[in-house]
Structure 1
Amino acid sequence: MIIPAYWAEGRIQQQVDGKQVTVRRFGWSDDSAAAAQAHADARTLAAFERIASGEKLARRERKVAYNGADGMPIREEIVQRAGDAVITRNSYGALCLNTPDVLFLDIDFESQKVDSGAIEFALGPALVGGLLAGWSAGSWIAGVIAAVVVFAVALRIGKQRKQGDASAINPGPEKRAKARIARFMQQHADWHLRIYRTPAGFRLLAMHAVFDPASAAVSDCFKQLGVDKVYARMCQNQGCFRARLSAKPWRIGIADHLRPRPGVWPVAAERLPMREAWVARYDAIARDHAACRFLEAVGSATVHPAAQRVQEVHDDLSRAASGLPIA
Structure 2
Amino acid sequence: MQPIPRHWAAVRATHTFPGHGPFALTIHGSSDISVEDARRDARERMDALVAAGGPEQEHDSGLEYYPSRRLPEELLKDVHSEDGTLIAAITRNRYGAAVLNTDALLICDVDLPQEDVGRSRSSGGRAGKRPGLLSRLLGGGAKHDAARETSPGEPASRGADISTGSVGGAANGSHDAAALPDELGGPGSGERGRVHAELLTSIRDFGARHPELGVRAYRTRHGFRLLVSGADAHPASERARALMQEVRSDPLYMLLCRVHDTYRARLTPKPWRVEIDRFESLGTRTATAPEHQDWVRRYRDASAQVAVCRLLEVTGAAPSAEERRIIDLHDRATRPEFGLPLA
Give me the CA root mean square deviation.
3.6
- Higher relative CO (Cα under 8 Å, sequence separation at least 6) belongs to 2
Corresponding residue of 2:143 = none
In structure 2, the CA distance between the partners of 1:90 and 1:41, relative to structure 1 (3 Å rule), is closer
Q: Are positions 1:321 and 2:337 aligned together?
A: yes
Aligned-pair CA distance for 1:241: 0.7
Does the CA-based 8 Å contact 1:70-1:238 persist in structure 2?
no
Runs of at least 5 residues in structure 1 that lack an aligned partner in the other structure: 60-65, 114-165
Asked if 1:203 corresponds to 2:207, the answer is no
Please say if 1:219 is aligned against 2:241: yes
- Residue of structure 1 in register with 2:70 after alignment: 73
- Aligned mate of 2:293, from 276, 285, 289: 276
How many Å apart are 1:173 and its aligned residue? 2.2
Q: CA deviation at 1:9?
A: 3.5
Q: Secondary structure at the match of 1:285?
A: helix
**8 Å CA contact retained: 2:213, 2:230:** yes
Matches within 5 A, 1:6-25: 6-10=7-11, 25=27
TM-score in terms of structure 1 length = 0.67
Counterpart position of 1:294: 311
Residue correspondences, number: 255
Partner of 1:97: 100
Q: Larger Rg: 1 or 2?
A: 1
Distance in 2 (CA, whole Å) between partners of 1:81 and 1:67 is 27
Q: 2:40 & 2:97 partners in 1: Cα distance?
A: 31
Residues 53-98 of structure 1, C-alpha deviations (whole Å, 9 max, x = no match): xx42249xxxxxx963533224111122222311122222221111
Contact 1:7/1:37 (<8 A) preserved: yes
AA matched with 1:315 = D
Q: Which position in structure 1 is the counterpart of 2:322? A: 306
Provide the rounded CA distance (Å) in 1 between the counterparts of 2:24 and 2:270.
38
Check the 8 A contact 1:10/1:26 in 2, yes or no: yes
Secondary structure of 2:101 counterpart: strand
The AA in structure 2 aligned to 1:56 is G
Structure 2, gaps ≥5 residues long: 57-62, 81-86, 117-188
Is the aligned partner of 1:27 residue 2:29?
yes
The one-letter code sitting in structure 2 at the alignment partner of 1:258 is F
Q: Does 1:251 align with 2:273?
A: yes
Residue 266 in structure 1 maps to residue 285 in structure 2:
yes
**2:294 partner SS:** helix
The 2-side partners of 1:21 and 1:183 are apart by: 48
CA drift of 1:324 comes to: 2.9
Scaled by the length of structure 2, the TM-score of the pair is 0.64
Residues 130-209 of structure 1 aligned to structure 2 (within 5 Å): 172-209=194-231
Judged with a 3 Å threshold, the aligned counterparts in structure 2 of structure 1 residues 187 and 89 are, in CA distance, closer, same or farther, namely same
SS in 2 for 1:101: coil
Confirm or deny: 8 A CA contact 1:192 1:208 kept in the other structure: yes
Secondary structure at the aligned position of 1:172 is classed as helix
Corresponding letter in the other structure for 1:296: E
Q: 1:323 to 1:37 in 2, by over 3 A?
A: same
What's the secondary structure of 2:279's corresponding residue? coil
TM-superposition CA deviations, 1:88-134 (whole Å, max 9, x none): 22222221111133211122223479xxxxxxxxxxxxxxxxxxxxx
Going from structure 1 to structure 2, the CA distance change for 1:44 and 1:279 (only over 3 Å counts) comes to: same
How far residue 21 of structure 1 moved from its aligned partner, in angstroms, is 11
